[in-house]
Chain A
Amino acid sequence: MKRKWKVSMVMILVLSMMMLSASATDAGASPQTMRIGVTVEVDSLSPFISYSQIGFEVFQLIYDSLVMLDENLETVPGLARDWEISDDELEWTFQLRDDVQWHDGVPFTSADVKFTYELLLENELGMYSGYLGGITEILAPDATTVVIRTEQPKANMLMNACPILPAHIWSEVTPDEYDTWPNSSPVGTGPFKFQEFRPGEYLKLVASDNTFHGRPGIDELIFVLYANTDTMAQSVVLGEIDAATNFSPSQLDTLDNNATIDAIAAVVMGFTQLSFNSWDDPSSTAHPLLQEFPVRHAIEYSIDKQRILDMVYSGQGSVGTTLVPPEGFYHYEPSESELRVYDVLRANQVLEEAGYMDLNGDGIREASDGTPLDFLLTLRADNADEVQAGQMIAGMVAEAGIKFNIETVDDGALIDKIYAGDFDMFIWGWGADLDPTTILNVMTTTQIGSMSDSNYSNKTYDRLFLEQQTIMDPDERREMVWEMQRILYEEAPYIILFYDNSLQAVNTSRWTGWTRIPEEGGYFFNLTNYNYLHVQPVAGVVDAAPDAGGGIGFAGMIIGGLIVAGVASFLMFRRRK
Chain B
Amino acid sequence: MKRQYLAKKIIQSLVTIFFVLVFNYILFRVMPGNPLAMIMRNPRASQEAIERTRELFGLNQSWVVQFWIYLKHLFTGDLGISFLYRQPVTEIIVARIIPTVLMVGLAQILAIIVGVFLGVISAWKRGSRVDVAALGFSLVTYSMPTFWLGIILIFVFSVSLRWFPTSGMLTPGQSFSSTFAMVRDAARHLVLPVLTLSLVLIGEYTLTMRNTLLDVLTEDYMTTAKAKGFDDNYLIKKHALPNAMLPMITLIAINLGLVIGGTIQVETIFSWPGLGRLMFDALKARDYPLLQGIFLLITLSVIVANLIADVTYGYFDPRVRE
CB within 8 Å of B: which residues of A?
16, 19-22, 24-26, 28, 33, 35, 43-44, 46, 49, 51-52, 123-131, 179-180, 182, 196, 198-202, 204, 220, 222, 224-228, 230-232, 234-235, 237-238, 240, 382, 409-413, 415-417, 419, 430-433, 438-439, 441-442, 446-447, 450-451, 548, 551-552, 554-556, 558-559, 565, 569-570, 573-575
Contact = CB atoms under 8 A, between A and B. Distances in A.
B86 A20 contact: no
Q: Which of B95, B151, B175 has the most CB of A within 10 A?
A: B175
Contacts of A182: 86-87
B255 interface: no
A416 B161 contact: no
A569 B132 CA distance: 9
Contacts of B33: 410-413, 415-416
A88 to B, nearest CB: 27
A573 B129 CA distance: 8
A452 B127 CA distance: 68
B226 interface: no
B31 A129 contact: no
Contacts of B177: 26, 28
Nearest to A28: B177
Interface string B207-244: 00000000000000000000000000000000000000
B302 interface: no
B201 to A, nearest CB: 19
Chain A binding site: helix, strand, loop or mixed by DSSP?
Answer: mixed
A49 B45 CA distance: 10
A393 to B, nearest CB: 22
Interface in B62-109: 81, 84-87, 92, 95-96, 99
Nearest to B268: A227
Interface string B268-291: 111111100110000011100000
6 contacts: A21-B163, A51-B38, A127-B45, A227-B269, A238-B166, A415-B36
A234 B154 contact: yes
A421 B289 CA distance: 26
A24 to B, nearest CB: 5
Interface string B253-273: 000000000000001111111
Contact of A551 (B132, B159, B274): B159
Given A124-B46, A225-B273, 12 more contacts: A25-B174, A51-B45, A130-B46, A180-B87, A196-B173, A201-B172, A231-B271, A232-B167, A382-B284, A410-B33, A446-B47, A555-B161
Nearest to A576: B127
B160 interface: yes
A325 B152 CA distance: 40
A552 B160 contact: yes
B132 to A, nearest CB: 4
Contacts, number: 232
B42 A201 contact: no
B322 interface: no
Nearest to B182: A26
A412 B44 CA distance: 19
Contact of B52 (A16, A21, A124): A124
A226 B271 contact: yes
B40 A231 contact: no
A231 B151 CA distance: 9
A157 to B, nearest CB: 16
Q: Which of B38, B50, B269 has the most CB of A within 10 A?
A: B38
Nearest to B132: A573
Q: Which of B36, B45, B47, B177 has the most CB of A within 10 A?
A: B45
Contacts of A413: 32-33
A95 B43 CA distance: 30
A231 B47 contact: no
A313 B11 CA distance: 57
A57 to B, nearest CB: 13
Given A180-B87, A551-B155, A410 B48 contact: no
Contacts of B165: 24, 240
A202 B43 contact: no
A226 B48 CA distance: 33
Interface in B108-164: 127-129, 132-133, 136, 140, 151-152, 154-156, 158-164
Contacts of A126: 45, 49
A130 B132 contact: no
A44 B39 CA distance: 12
Q: Which of A33, A432, A446 has the most CB of B within 10 A?
A: A33
